Amino acid sequence: MTPTKFEIAVSTAVLFIFSAAVIWIRTANVRATYDFVKRENELKLAKQSEQDLRIQWAKISSPQRLKKLSQDLNLEAPKLSQVYRYGKTK
């Protein structure tokens, strides 16, 4: 029994649709992988930037630096009468 032209056409159409679906899925997978790698690299850069900023903040706000800066600017500790406390008041 030989296949008819209709069976050959249907088989070819099914094969074409299946091939297109496989190609589309693989292309989507590659795009998703590239996007994942891009996001992963962005996350690494953000974490590194955060770490750099934390180090910079630690240097800027160190007590030794602040004390030296206050001495350079001739600043003094506030007097008790200059301090206002929020919260509990009678």
13-39 per-position pLDDT tens digit: 999 999 999 999 999 999 999 999 999
Residue 12: its pLDDT value, please?
Answer: 96
- Counted domains in the chain: 1
Structural domain that includes position 25:
5-73
Report yes or no on whether pTM surpasses 0.75: no
DSSP string, the chain: -PPPHHHHHHHHHHHHHHHHHHHHHHHHHHHHHHHHHHHHHHHHHHHHHHHHHHHHHHHHT-HHHHHHHHHHTT--PPPGGG----S---
The answer as to whether 21 is a domain residue is yes
The answer as to whether 84 is a domain residue is no
Residue 37: its pLDDT value, please?
Answer: 98
The answer as to whether 27 is a domain residue is yes
Q: What confidence tier does 88 reach under pLDDT thresholds 50, 70, 90?
A: low
Tens-digit pLDDT profile for residues 39-68: 999 999 999 999 999 999 999 999 999 999
The answer as to whether 85 is a domain residue is no
How many angstroms separate the CA atoms of 24 and 31, rounded?
Answer: 11
